[in-house]
């Protein structure tokens, strides 16, 4: 054999350095074997990330000799060249800083104690080419979590992983019976990666497919030592047999169309998820429970929900949206026809178009004051929605927002609203009345058309501009009421008719006061206008109680209160129904 030192032969050193990454300037002693292959015999570099080259001086580097990196505590990463077939005894013994090992598919043999006491090593992947592992090769690697075997079990005794109490040997599905319940002294388990397609990018894993046959699926948090951070577009869409899926805390992103199994009934989404793609769970027709921290909870750390995320999940019944979500995308719960309960947090600022379209079982919903934007069709065809309050933060009610909410009987529109879009309340058949605040300056065409039982529309401000002549089309029972001092009503064109709403309590006539042991008064105003008389006992913290709903037949009515003595003080007011 010819013995040479790279440190003293400049042209050989240059060749080696060119084969290494520019940041690595490792120095080796090597021998050239009779078959013109190279075996590394000594390492004299400073540690860090080290790569063994494929060739040196034109010859393949095939061996890592005995004790080459023995007790090299500064070594943090080792990548062996693609021609290495053997790692000698004690080669990386007690490399306590070593966190990453990349072994080539050419490797056949790992020597005795080769990686013993590499206490920072968490994961190791053993190529399918390895046929022999020496005694105690990975003993004392006390933080080793997983050894991933890519082929059939190599020749090894029970001491290979001695003292590695946290480690598990993972095998691929074709070789399960060969590994038995333990291998090398460690318990064995089917490699979860066997069931998934995936890609690696910048040291992280994205799931790209599922081809396992089981119905209850847990997505792994780590594959071959790399964290699983994303479920890619269509990532589990092919798992038609999946009924339940658990997503690990490592995942931050769920891509478009990620899940579509029609048998999926349950999914657990962790707090780590910050974004969910378009149609991520669309058409999961059997989904009844999606958990992100709690029973349908969408994202404790998520900031947005992509469009149509849960579209057509027709068995989904309850949704709680996490406290960091700021945007609910368009069509997120489109046609979730079993959805009855939704909690929207104060972090949400926008609700996209058709977000709750045709959630036909939804009866109630609170929109928080944080919401500033409500798109079109958001609650359209929510046929069981009974009541809704538009918060003070919203300026615009979009087109078709509550169209065909047939059961809607109570609508509260905040004073911040300036525009009511076209068809906004179209076909709200049983809506009996609505109060339009003074800030509203425009109402789109057909906004209240086909509101068949709408009787009173109470305007608190000036007459708004109308988007057309059909704003109240077929709302044949409706009357528009306006307040004294407001303008533009002389230009109002019927139908419906516009009537001055001006009831007042007559405090100077003989009817005011106690008569027949009851306090009462006369109310006068425009003939046949409706009103409600309310009372409270404390104006500072007023809690008004309705006492009587009445109509000013012939322009007046006498009201009396038989319970006027139940409190030392009693206040009265008039309001619209």
Q: What is the pLDDT of residues 495-541, one digit of tens each?
A: 899 999 999 999 999 999 998 889 999 999 999 999 999 999 999 98
pLDDT over 50 (residue 12):
no
State how far the Cα of 509 lies from the Cα of 493, in Å rounded to an integer.
37
Q: What is the pLDDT of residue 217?
A: 84
- Residues 305-320: what's their mean pLDDT? 80
Burial of 84 (0-12, 13-18, 19+ CB in 10 A): buried
The SS3 assignment for 553 reads helix
Q: What is the pLDDT of residues 262-304, one digit of tens each?
A: 677 777 777 788 777 778 877 777 777 655 433 334 544 455 5
Q: What is the pLDDT of residue 494?
A: 79
In contact, 341 and 319? CB cutoff 8 Å: yes
Token duo for residue 480: 């528009």
Q: What is the pLDDT of residue 264?
A: 77
- Residues 39-47: what's their mean pLDDT? 93
In contact, 56 and 15? CB cutoff 8 Å: yes
State how far the Cα of 471 lies from the Cα of 440, in Å rounded to an integer.
14
> Would the CA dihedral through 531, 535, 539, 542 be positive or negative?
negative
Specify the length of the chain in residues.
577
The SS3 assignment for 193 reads helix
Q: Count CB neighbours of 122 within 10 A.
A: 16
Cis bond before residue 166 (omega within 30° of 0): no
- Residues 218-224: what's their mean pLDDT? 87
Closest by CA position to 538, among listed 498, 496, 571 = 571
Q: What is the pLDDT of residues 471-480, one digit of tens each?
A: 999 999 999 9
- Residues 24-46: what's their mean pLDDT? 86
Of all residues in the chain, the percent with pLDDT exceeding 90 is 65
Q: What is the pLDDT of residues 239-254, one digit of tens each?
A: 567 788 888 889 988 8
Question: CATH 1.10.10: does it fit domain 504-575?
Answer: no
Report domain extents, the chain: 2-190, 504-575
**Pairing, β 266-268 against β 410-413:** unpaired
Burial of 53 (0-12, 13-18, 19+ CB in 10 A): buried
- To which H or E segment does residue 217 belong? strand 216-218
Closest by CA position to 348, among listed 394, 413, 281 = 394
Give the distance from CA 35 to its chain's centroid.
59
Of all residues in the chain, the percent with pLDDT exceeding 70 is 91
Taking phi over 0 as left and psi of -120 to 50 as alpha, with beta for the rest, 45 belongs to: beta
pLDDT over 60 (residue 427):
yes
- Identify any residues that bridge with 518 across adjacent strands, giving them in sequence order: 515
Question: CATH 3.30.230.10: does it fit domain 2-190?
Answer: no
State the pTM of this model.
0.70
Q: What is the pLDDT of residues 116-146, one digit of tens each?
A: 999 999 999 999 999 999 999 999 999 999 9
Burial of 173 (0-12, 13-18, 19+ CB in 10 A): exposed
pLDDT over 70 (residue 75):
yes
């Amino acid at each position: 054999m010819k013995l040479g030192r790279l440190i003293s032969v400049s042209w050989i050193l240059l060749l080696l350095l060119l084969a290494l990454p520019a940041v690595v300037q490792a120095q080796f002693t090597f021998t050239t074997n009779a078959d013109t292959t190279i075996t590394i015999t000594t390492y004299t570099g400073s540690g860090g990330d080290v790569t063994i080259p494929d060739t040196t001086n034109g010859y393949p580097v095939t061996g890592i000799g005995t004790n080459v990196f023995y007790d090299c505590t500064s070594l943090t990463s080792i990548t062996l060249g693609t021609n290495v077939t053997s790692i000698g005894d004690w080669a990386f013994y007690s490399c306590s800083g070593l966190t990453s090992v990349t072994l080539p598919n050419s490797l056949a043999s790992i020597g005795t104690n080769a990686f013993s006491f590499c206490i920072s090593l968490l994961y190791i992947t053993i190529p399918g080419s390895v046929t022999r592992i020496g005694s105690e090769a990975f003993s004392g690697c006390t933080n080793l979590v997983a050894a991933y075997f890519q082929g059939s079990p190599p020749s090894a005794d029970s001491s290979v992983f001695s003292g590695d109490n946290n480690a598990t040997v993972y095998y691929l599905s074709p070789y399960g019976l060969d590994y038995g319940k333990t291998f090398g002294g460690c318990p064995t388990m089917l490699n979860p990666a066997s069931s998934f397609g995936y890609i690696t990018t910048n040291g992280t894993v994205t799931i790209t497919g599922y081809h396992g046959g089981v119905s209850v699926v847990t997505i792994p948090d780590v594959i071959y030592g790399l964290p699983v951070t994303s479920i890619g577009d269509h990532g589990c869409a092919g798992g038609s047999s999946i009924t339940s899926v658990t997503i690990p805390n490592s995942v931050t992103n769920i891509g478009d169309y990620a899940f579509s199994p029609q048998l999926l009934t349950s999914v657990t989404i962790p707090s780590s998820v910050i974004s969910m793609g378009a149609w991520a769970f669309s058409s999961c027709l059997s989904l009844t429970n999606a958990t992100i921290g709690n029973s349908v909870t969408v994202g404790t750390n998520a900031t947005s929900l992509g469009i149509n995320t849960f579209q057509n999940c027709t068995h989904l019944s309850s949704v709680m949206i996490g406290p960091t979500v700021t945007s609910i995308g368009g069509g997120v719960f489109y046609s979730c026809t079993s959805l009855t309960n939704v909690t929207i947090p104060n972090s949400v600022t926008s609700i996209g178009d058709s977000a709750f379209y045709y959630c036909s079982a939804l009866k109630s919903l609170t929109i928080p004051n944080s919401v500033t934007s409500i798109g079109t069709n958001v609650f359209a065809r929510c046929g069981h929605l009974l009541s809704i309050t538009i918060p003070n933060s919203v300026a615009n009610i979009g087109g078709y927002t509550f169209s065909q909410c047939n059961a809607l009987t109570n609508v509260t529109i905040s004073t911040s609203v300036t525009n009511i879009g076209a068809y906004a309340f179209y076909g709200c058949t049983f809506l009996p009345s609505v109060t339009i605040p003074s800030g509203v300056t425009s109402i789109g065409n057909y906004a209240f058309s086909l509101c068949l039982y709408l009787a009173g529309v109470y305007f608190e401000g000036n007459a708004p501009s109308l988007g057309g002549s059909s704003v109240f089309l077929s709302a044949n029972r409706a009357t528009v009421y306006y307040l004294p001092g407001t303008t533009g009503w002389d230009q109002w064109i019927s139908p419906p008719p516009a009537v001055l709403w001006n009831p007042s309590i007559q405090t100077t006539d003989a009817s005011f006061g106690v008569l027949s042991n009851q306090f009462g008064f006369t109310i006068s105003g425009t003939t046949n206008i409706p009103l409600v008389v309310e009372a409270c006992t404390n104006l500072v913290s007023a809690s008004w109680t309705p006492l009587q709903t009445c109509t000013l037949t012939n322009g007046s009515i006498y009201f009396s209160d038989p319970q006027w003595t139940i409190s030392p003080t009693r206040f009265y007011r008039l309001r619209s129904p």
